[in-house]
Structure 1
C-alpha cells in the first residue's frame, strides 16, 4: 500500500509540475497586466516569472525528470508482483517474467502519460491564467529551494545558447499583427461587435495610408480668383456649397489665402454683393506634404487648430486639399454616412462602378483581395490600371487580377473617371486575346 501511495503522490506531483510549466508559459501578458493593474499580486509574480523564465524551467525539468525516474523504479517494483499473478493465470512458461515486467511497464507509463502529463497540460492550456495565478507562489518557493541545481543547469543552458548566438530571454513585443489577431478572434467569438472590429481596423490604417488617398485632388479643387466679380462668386458657391475656398491670383499655385463661405454670405446680406478684399481673407494657410500619413495629418490638424489644409508636393505645387471631415470619413468608414457622392456603387452581386480616384486600400477591403501588384507604385484604382497597362487606357480597356476584371468605362482626356469592376465567375467567357487586355497576374 505504501508503494501504491508513493506512485499516486509521484503522479500528483508530476501533474502539478506539468500543469505549472504550461500555464506559466501560455498565460497571456495582456490579460495578466490587466489583473496586475487591478491589484493582483500573483499576476505581477507571473509576469516577473515570464520575464526571467530560465530558473523556473530549470527547476521544472529537474523535478519532472526526478519524478519520472522514481516513478519507473517504484512502479516496476510495485506492480510486477501483481502482474505476475495475472500472467500466471493464463501463462506459466519461461517468458512469464518478461511479460509481467512489460505489462507493469505499460501500466505505469500509461498512468503517468494520462494523469501526470496529458490531462494536466490540457487543463493548463484551457485556463492558463487561472492555473498560473494559483501555482506561481509554490513554484517560486520550489525554485528557491533548488537554487544550487537551478544555478548549475540554468548556467550551462545559458552558455550553450550564447555559443549558438541565441537569445537567453524572450522579448515580448506586441505587434500590430498580434492586436489584429486578437480582434479577429474577439469578432468571431462575439465579444467584439463587428462595427467595433471595423472601427479599430480603420485606426491601424491611419498609419498605412497617405494624404492622397483621402484628399480632394487638384483637378477637383474649386477656387476663387481674387479679381472675380460677385456674380461668378455666387454661382460657384451655389454649384459647389463648400465651407471653405481657396483664393488665388490667376492660377491655383498662386495662393493668396482662404475664405469661408459664411463670410461671403454675410457680405451679400449686408451689401448685396460679394467681393474678395484682402482684409477679409485668411492669410495663414496650413500646408501639408503629400507624403504625410493620415495619422501624421491628424496630429498636424491638432497642432494647427484648423479643419482645412492645402496639400503640396515636393516641388511646392498644390496637389489637393484635405479637411478633418475627409480624415474622419476614412476613420469611420461606412459606419457613418457623410454627404457626398459615393466612390463605389454596387450594380449587382458581381459588379461595381468605381470612381477612378478610389483608394486601392478601399478596393482591397471591398473585394477581399489580399494584395495588388507593386502596390507602392500607385494609390488609386485609376493608378492601378494605368500602371498595369503602362499607358493611359482607352474606353473598354481592361486588366484582370485576382478573379476580377477592371474595365475603364469613362475617360475624360487623360483622366480615368470611372471603372467597372466585375467578378469573373467563368473566365472562359472572356476572349482570351481581346484588343486591349492586360493580365495583372502576368
Structure 2
C-alpha cells in the first residue's frame, strides 16, 4: 500500500510536468482555432500561456510539494520495510538503516525521473495542444486556489530578475525568420511542395521591395510620342508585344497618359481616324520609393495595369506593371517570341551568368551575401558592379567581393547586360600572392 501511495504521488507530479511542457510548447494558433471551435480547455490553455509567471509558479508549487511528500514518505515508511528485508543480510542496525535509506533514495529518484519527468514530458511534446487543453482547466483552478502563494512567488521572482538587470516587456512573439524556418520545415515534412515554398519566400521578398526594384528602367520603356505622326505611332504599337503604352509629348518626362493598344487597333480596323490624345487614359504616377504592396493597392484602386515611376527630380525613372509584380513572385515570364532565359543561369563549371537587371536582394540571396557596400545607392546587380568600379563598366571589367569574382561579359550600350560570377580560387601553398590553383 505504501508503494502504491508513492507511485500515485509520482504520477501526479508527472501530470504537472506534462501540463508544463504541453502548454509551453503548444502552438498558439492551434489553441486559438480550438478555442474558436468552442473548446473551453483551449481557452484556459491560452490564458495560462499568456500569463507564464502565474502558470509556472503554480506548476512549481505542485511539483515541489509532491516532491517533499514523496521524499518524506519514502524515507519514513518505505525505508522501514526495506530495513526489515535486510535483517537476515545485515546484522548491524545502523548499517542496515543506512543501506535501506540509500536504496530508497535511488529507487525514488529513478522512478521520479522516469514517471514524474521524462515520460510525461515526452508525451506532452507529442500531443501538446490536446493535452494542454485537457490539463489547463485544473491547473487554472489550482492557480486560483493557491493565488496568495502564487502572487508571493511571482513578486519574489520579479524582484530577483530585476536585480540582475532584466526588465519586463514582451519580445516579438513571431518573427519573419521564424516563419521562414517553419515553411522550410513544412516543406521537408511534405506539407508544402518546393514550388509552394519558393512562392511563399518570394511573397516575403516582395514585401521588402519598392517599385524601383521591380520597374522596367526608362531606357527599356516602349512609349508613344504625341508629336510623332499617327502612322509612326501605329507602327510602334504593332511592333511591340506590350498592350499598354505610356504617352508623352516630345519626351517621356512629359508624360500625359497611357494608351491601350486595342483602342488604337479597333479604330484602325474600323477605318476611322483616331487621336492618341483622345483615346489615352489618365496615368498613374508613383514615387520610386513606393513599396510593392502599396503599388498593388494603388493599382486596384485606380483599376489600371501600370504606373510610371517618378524620381526625386520629377522625371520618369521607369515603368512598373502588374506583370512585374507577378514576375517578382513566380520568376521571369518570357513572351511567345522570347527565349526562356532566367535572371540567373548556372554553367557547367559552377559559375553563374547573371542578368544585369537582377534585383540586388535576389543577387544577395543567391550568393549568400549578408550586406553590400552603400546598398541604398543601387537596386540591381549592374548597379553594384558600376558602384564597385566607380566608372562606366566595359566588357571584361572585373571586380572582387568577398569570395567571388564578378566579370562584365556583355554590355547593352552603356548598361551592363550580363555578368559572370564565379568563386575566387584561394592559393594552396606557394608564395603569398600566387593565385594559380594547384
TM-score of the superposed pair, with normalisation by structure 2:
0.87
Distance in structure 2 (CA, Å) of the matches to 1:396 and 1:302: 44
Contact 2:259 2:279 in 1 (8 A): yes
- TM-superposed deviation, 1:304: 1.4
Distance 2:352 2:171 in 1: 46
1:290 equivalenced with 2:292 (yes/no): no
Deviation at 1:96, TM superposition (A): 4.6
Deviates more, 1:254-263 or 1:211-220: 254-263
Match of 1:262 in 2: 262
Within a 5 Å distance, the mapping from 1:390-429 to structure 2 comes to 390-401=390-401, 403-423=403-423, 426-428=425-427
Aligned mates of 1:338, 1:157 — CA distance in 2:
66
SS of equivalent to 1:407: strand
> Which residue number in structure 2 is paired with residue 346 of structure 1?
345
1:20 match: 19
In structure 2, do the counterparts of structure 1 residues 218 and 170 end up closer, same or farther at CA, with 3 Å as the change threshold?
Answer: closer
Take 1:191 and 1:299, find their aligned partners in 2: how far apart are those partners? 31
Pair 1:169–1:88, CA change in 2 (3 A) = farther
Distance, in Å, in 1 between the alignment partners of 2:276 and 2:300 is 29
How far does residue 90 in structure 1 lie from its aligned partner after superposition? 6.0
Number of equivalences = 427
Q: CA deviation at 1:217?
A: 0.2
- Choose the corresponding residue for 2:310, options 307, 312, 325: 312
Q: Is the 8 A contact 2:41 2:135 kept in 1?
A: no
Q: Does 1:61 align with 2:60?
A: yes
CA distance 1:332–1:386, change in 2 (3 Å): same
Q: CA deviation at 1:179?
A: 2.1
Give the CA deviation at 1:32.
0.7
**What is the aligned partner in structure 1 of residue 108 from structure 2?**
108
TM-score, structure 1 normalization? 0.87
Is 1:369 aligned to residue 363 of structure 2? no
Q: Secondary structure at the match of 1:409?
A: strand
Structure 1 residue 355 displacement after superposition = 2.0
| Pair 1:433–1:415, CA change in 2 (3 A) | farther
Q: 1:300 aligned to 2:295?
A: no
Paired residue for 1:5? 4
Q: Deviations over 1:71-130 (max 9, x none)?
A: 111112233345446666666567554333223211211111121112111221222111
> 1:440 corresponds to which residue?
none
Do 1:187 and 1:193's aligned partners in 2 also have CA atoms closer than 8 Å? yes
CA drift at 1:248: 2.0
Structure 1 spans left out of the alignment, 5+ residues:
435-442
Kindly state the Cα deviation for residue 194 of structure 1 after the two structures are TM-superposed.
2.0
Q: Quote how far apart the aligned CAs of 1:289 are.
A: 0.5
Query: RMSD over aligned Cα, in angstroms?
Result: 2.9
Does structure 1 conserve the Cα–Cα contact (< 8 Å) formed by 2:347 and 2:353?
Answer: no
Residue of structure 1 in register with 2:325 after alignment? 327
Alpha-carbon spacing, 1:338–1:299, altered in 2? closer, same or farther (3 Å) = farther
Matches of 2:253 and 2:368, distance apart in 1: 38
Deviations 1:209-255 (A, max 9, x none): 11122211011112222121244223323432321222222222122
Partner residue in 2 for 1:280: 279
> In 1, Cα distance between the equivalents of 2:389 and 2:3?
80
- CA shift, 1:141, in A, is 1.9
8 Å contact from structure 2 (residues 218, 316) kept in 1: yes
Say which SS state the counterpart of residue 309 (structure 1) adopts: strand
Query: Which residue in the other structure is 1:379 paired with?
Result: 379
**Cα deviation, residue 376, structure 1:** 3.4
Aligned to 2:46: 47
Give the distance between the partners of 1:361 and 1:433, measured in 2 at CA: 33
- Structure 1 residue aligned with 2:194: 194
1:316 is displaced (CA, Å) by 0.6
**1:439 matched residue in structure 2:** none
Q: Measured at CA, do residues 99 and 213 of structure 1 come closer, stay the same or move farther in structure 2, by a change above 3 Å?
A: same
C-alpha contact 2:427 2:434 (8 A) present in aligned 1? no
User: Structure 1 residues 113 and 427 mapped into 2: Cα distance closer, same or farther (>3 Å)?
Assistant: same
User: 1:385 offset after TM fit, Å?
Assistant: 1.4
Residue range with higher mean Cα deviation, 144-153 or 344-353: 344-353
User: Does structure 2 retain, via aligned residues, the 8 Å contact 1:199–1:333?
Assistant: no
Contact 1:369 / 1:402 at 8 angstroms: preserved in 2? Answer: no
The answer to whether the 8 A contact 2:49-2:55 is kept is no
CA deviations 1:369-392 (Å, max 9, x no partner) are: 243423434211111212223333
Q: Report the secondary structure of 2:331's partner residue.
A: helix
1:152 is matched with which residue? Answer: 152
Structure 1 window deviating more from structure 2 (236-245 vs 308-317): it is 236-245
Matches of 1:305 and 1:312, distance apart in 2: 19
**Structure 1 residues 371 and 427, CA, compared in 2 at 3 Å: closer, same or farther?**
same
How far has the Cα of 1:187 moved from its partner? Answer: 0.9
Give the drift of 1:423. 4.9
Q: Report how far residue 303 of structure 1 moved.
A: 1.6
